[in-house]
A and B are shown apart, each in its own frame.
Chain A
């Protein structure tokens, strides 16, 4: 019997798990995917917004400004990667400047700090590639960029270290409420019993709600966003997050530097029928190319190394829906968490636990808020490298040449509390295969390392989901 069961291991579920792991409670996290952070949290702009955009007075506004501040704590405790970029919101003419002024007033009410207006030449001093037809810029220095999968991984790893349990490949398909106990069933007919439930299922949060409530205060109206990724050799081309003016469709097509040096171009914003569809389209990708040029000139499109899409959990409620169920006590919805959900995530977790659930327990003695810093070998100093290599020679063998990832880092990604045995899982953890050749050379080496470390046949090594081996069969079996 669990005290709390969290449905969904995106950034929201993971940070809630960490928040609950402070107390002497039995906490379970259930995730339908083969890996943590595989849905919205995998495919977004990664921006920790300053909180300028959500309308004053909303939960979104309050939690994103607070979330932005809490990221500095996560940096200290979990050693997450954080790029302090600042942002420019760019206006192109008088009409747009009026909207920019309104945005500034809204941001001031939201208590966003250190904002200022710049003209084009002032802005181009720090961003020479800013488009020449921009007339006025709102500078938002508190804007940052994180690496969302990493935040979810490290938060959940920390939670696991503090006693939380995680089960992957477990999709909840029905929930019963009997004698104050919730009975959850997954697609394998596994049954879990819990005194309370937290619905952090992202785009599927309304489906989870429908399992327990009839009257619907919200419905997910999914919005897809497509992106291009530029190779990390563009590092420095643009150093701030560049926003156009927001519209009804959202924040528009942006230019966003990433923590590893790449730049994202996108997203689009398209209403879609299928929540699970993360396909890109010719129309979407063309739209991005047409619109980013309003923000930056000389964009090196020839350095595109990948395109992808994510689906936002936008809901008809128009704000985050963080409430206890209207009909079932102890069932908490953390739903409709679309953008700025990454930004607000640490604040959402605190808000839920402190203000909605109102846990009164003391923090347990054994609670440790920190995790050990992950070794990114290439970031070490010469002396540290020599020391590490003495302890473990496999730090000397480079597997992914583009990203400079060593064999030991891949082994570390396979094992550990949140390890993975898939190609995509290793790419998410160690970045092997994220460079310009996209695994062309190293993937075959990684398949072998995974097989060796997990005692599997090469044909059992999955790409991402369960039962997606990249090798179909052995051709010549020696007797």
Chain B
């Protein structure tokens, strides 16, 4: 291994591979580190199709999408190590990564920049405090998906799913196709948290009931799961008495949210956005630590892998620019502010001194909206308006701003104008 890398990418999922391909340059020393024995990350367990329409202009399965990226990485001879976990990142003038694998044990890698693409983890039962017993038979939908699609094992036969995130919806269909009986999906919110196409194709097509404004209020079974109870909630999430329904099931799958996995920030003092639970970044996807970039699900959770790729390409370009170009001062980071109808926006700030490429704002609304205009203002003047229909929190919204759209170096304010 070389002494000092220019760019080290942590994670070899869609984000890591896409960032690597874009950062690649014969003059740059580039390394990808992946803890799994294969590249691809989450894509490997997503054997359904629907990936790649934007990036590859064709409909692919997860593993096919991953393979296309892997082939390109191999063809470009990009250096990588698999079956190797990054356990710590420190920074002095440059970064030191502590990594561990069977071949070398624990060792250090030095790098001038890092692109962190460690993906996300699923919220567990404990994090949402579902009361009741703690038997076997309760797991996250993603774990069940991994067991089924990668190992070839079904985790149960009578299934209930809590949370209507995409993984939950997809698993409702997948387990049905494998011969299990899915009794229903409960969702706390009055709308589904998954893509509309997944509600249609995974629940409606298989007559699986979706209980909106419902949550699991009891779990019964001392050793193995025997039954769960769901209950309806009012608009303030108070339980409505008399609405309890009990289902005899051996498995409860949870699809109750994904959280960026940024444990590696623990030994670096980095500014964290409480809304995304990941780093604050500017439009180059650079964090408050110079030379540290974050993208993909490690930055905020994406619904489409194509969006992950496009965002990660940007991180790859930014890191390359950081290595190859003379640096300009980054004094004036400007903050992106927004109203209550928006849940979060990435990037959280804009560096007007280094504004060479488009600024891609990604955000989610906090509720379902029939029809609206997204308005971007600077100094009280509208600099961009985007119309949208059928807006749901589960689908990420995007606004592209070109450098010429800005009228000053001041804060941006973005709001949602609801139309009737």
Instruction: Give a binary string over B10-45; 1 marks a CB under 8 Å from any A CB, 0 the rest.
Output: 000000000000000000000000010000000000
Known A468-B224, A475-B178; judge A396-B101 contact (CB<8 A).
yes
Choose the segment among B133-141, B241-249, B280-288, B394-402 that binds chain A (4+ C-beta atoms closer than 8 Å): B133-141
Q: Is the CB of A468 within 8 A of B131?
A: no
Q: Which residues of A contact B223 (CB under 8 A)?
A: 464-465, 467-468
- How many Å lie between the Cα of A387 and that of B104 in the bound state? 12
Q: Mark B99-137, 1 if CB is under 8 A from A, else 0.
A: 011111110000000000000011011110101111111
The answer to whether A463 and B122 touch across the interface, beta carbons within 8 angstroms, is: no
Chain A, interface residues (CB within 8 Å), range: 35 or more
For the complex, what is the distance from the CA of A285 to the CA of B126, rounded to whole Å? Answer: 12
Chain A, residue nearest B88 (CB): A404
Q: Is B152 an interface residue (CB 8 A)?
A: yes
Verify if A305 is at the interface (C-beta below 8 Å from B): yes
Chain B positions within 8 Å of A437 at CB level: 121-122, 124, 261
Q: How many residues of B contact A (CB 8 A)?
A: 52
Chain A binder among B142-150, B291-299, B311-319: B142-150
Contacts of A444 in B (CB 8 A): 143, 146-147, 150-151
> What's the minimum C-beta distance from B44 to chain A, rounded to whole angstroms?
12
Q: A281-B131, A396-B101, A472-B155 are in contact. Are A402 and B125 (CB under 8 A)?
A: no
* Residues of chain A contacted by B153 (CB below 8 angstroms): 458-459, 471-475
B154 x A279 contact (CB < 8 A): no
Q: Are A228 and B103 in contact (CB under 8 A)?
A: no
Determine the chain A residues whose CB is within 8 A of the CB of B220 once the complex forms. Answer: 279
Contact code string A229-247 (vs B, CB < 8 Å = 1, else 0): 1000100000000000000
- In the bound complex, how far is the Cα of B318 from the Cα of A38, in angstroms? 52
Q: How far is the CA of A395 from the CA of B103 in the complex (A)?
A: 10
List 10 tightest A-B contacts by C-beta distance, closest first.
Answer: A306-B126, A463-B136, A389-B105, A438-B124, A398-B85, A471-B153, A437-B121, A465-B223, A468-B136, A396-B105
Interface status of B184 (Cβ within 8 A of chain A): no
- Identity of the chain B residue whose Cβ is nearest the Cβ of A398 in the assembled complex: B85
Please tell me if the beta carbons of A398 and B154 are within 8 angstroms of each other in the complex: no
Is B126 within 8 A of A305, CB to CB?
A: yes
Check if B102 sits within 8 Å of A396, measured CB to CB: yes
Q: Is B157 an interface residue (CB 8 A)?
A: yes
Which of B139, B178, B222 contacts A470 (CB under 8 A)? B139
* Option from B103, B146, B152, B251 in Cβ contact (under 8 Å) with A396: B103
Query: In the complex, which of the residues A279, A470, A476 contacts B219, with contact meaning CB atoms closer than 8 Å?
Result: A279
Query: Do A393 and B103 form a contact, CB below 8 Å, given A468-B135, A472-B157?
Result: yes
Residue of B with least CB distance to A280: B131
Residue ranges of B at the interface with A (Cβ–Cβ < 8 Å):
35, 83, 85, 87, 100-106, 121-122, 124-127, 129, 131-137, 139-140, 142-143, 146-148, 150-157, 178, 217, 219-220, 222-224, 250-251, 261, 263, 266
Q: A401 to B88, alpha carbons, bound, how many Å?
A: 11
| 17 A–B contacts from the bound complex (CB under 8 Å) | A229-B126, A279-B134, A281-B132, A285-B131, A304-B129, A386-B106, A396-B101, A397-B100, A398-B85, A398-B87, A440-B121, A467-B223, A472-B153, A472-B154, A474-B154, A475-B148, A475-B178
Q: Which residue of B lies closest to A394 (CB)?
A: B102
Q: Is the CB of B136 within 8 A of A470?
A: yes
Minimum CB–CB distance for A420 against chain B, Å: 15
Q: A317 an interface residue at 8 Å Cβ cutoff?
A: no
Interface of A is mostly: mixed
Total contacts A to B, CB within 8 angstroms? 144
- How far does the Cβ of A331 sit from chain B's closest Cβ, in whole Å? 29
Instruction: Please state if A471 and B154 are interface contacts (CB–CB under 8 Å).
Output: yes
Q: Identify the closest chain B residue to A402 (Cβ).
A: B263
Complex contacts, B137 vs chain A, CB 8 Å: 463, 470
List the A side residues contacting B151 at CB < 8 Å.
444, 448, 458, 471
Residue of A nearest to B231 (CB): A282
Q: Given A279-B134, A304-B129, A396-B103, list of 17 further CB < 8 A pairs?
A: A229-B126, A233-B266, A389-B106, A393-B102, A393-B103, A396-B105, A397-B83, A397-B101, A397-B102, A398-B35, A406-B100, A437-B121, A438-B126, A463-B135, A467-B223, A470-B139, A470-B155
Contacts of B219 in A (CB 8 A): 279
Q: Residues of A with Cβ closer than 8 Å to B?
A: 228-229, 233, 276-282, 284-285, 304-308, 382, 385-386, 389-390, 393-398, 401-402, 404, 406, 436-441, 443-444, 448, 458-459, 462-465, 467-476
User: Are A398 and B146 in contact (CB-based, < 8 A)?
Assistant: no
- Chain A residues positioned under 8 Å from B103 (CB to CB): 393, 396
Please name the residue on chain A nearest to B106 by beta carbon: A385
* B181: min CB distance to chain A, Å: 12
What is the distance, in angstroms, from B125's C-beta to the closest C-beta of chain A? 7
Q: Determine whether the beta carbon of A443 is less than 8 Å from that of B143.
A: yes
In whole angstroms, how far apart are the Cα atoms of A228 and B137 in the complex?
21
Give the shortest distance, in Å, between B41 (CB) and chain A (any CB): 11
Minimal beta-carbon separation of A476 from chain B (angstroms): 5
The closest CB in chain B to the CB of A459 belongs to B153
Q: Which residues from chain B contact A463 at a C-beta distance below 8 Å?
A: 135-137
* Beta-carbon contact of A279 and B125 below 8 Å: no
Cα distance A163–B125 when bound, in Å? 41
Contact of A440 among B104, B131, B133, B140 (CB under 8 A): B140
A471 proximity list for chain B (CB < 8 A): 147, 151, 153-155
Instruction: Tell me whether A440 and B142 are in contact (CB under 8 A).
Output: yes
Q: Min CB distance, A388 to chain B, in Å?
A: 8
Cα A282 to Cα B155 in complex, Å, equals: 27
A386-B105, A396-B100, A468-B135 known; A404+B87 contact, CB < 8 A = yes
**Given A401-B35, A402-B263, A475-B178; A279-B133 close (CB under 8 Å):** yes
- Within the assembled complex, what's the spacing in Å between the Cα atoms of A280 and B132? 5
Contact status of A305 and B127, CB under 8 A, knowing A398-B85, A440-B140, A471-B155? yes
* A contact residues around B104 at 8 Å (CB): 396
B284 to chain A minimum Cβ distance, whole angstroms, is 28
Question: Using Cβ atoms and an 8 Å threshold, which residues of chain B touch A401?
Answer: 35, 85, 87, 263
Q: How far is the CA of A117 from the CA of B103 in the complex (A)?
A: 56
**Which residues of A sit under 8 angstroms from B126, Cβ to Cβ?**
229, 304-307, 438
User: Given the complex, which residues of A lie within 8 Å of B178, measured CB to CB?
Assistant: 475
B180 shortest CB reach to chain A, Å: 8
Contact partners of B127 in chain A: CB under 8 A = 304-305, 436, 438
Instruction: Chain B residues near A228: list those with CB within 8 A.
Output: 129
A7 to B229, CA, bound (A): 36
Contacts of A459 in B (CB 8 A): 153
CA distance A330 to B175 in the complex (A): 57
**A443 proximity list for chain B (CB < 8 A):** 139, 143
Which of A229, A305, A406, A475 lies in contact with B154, CB distance below 8 A? A475
Bound together, the chains give a CA A462 to CA B223 distance in angstroms of 10
Contacts of B122 in A (CB 8 A): 437, 440
Asked if A475 contacts B152 (CB within 8 A), the reply is yes
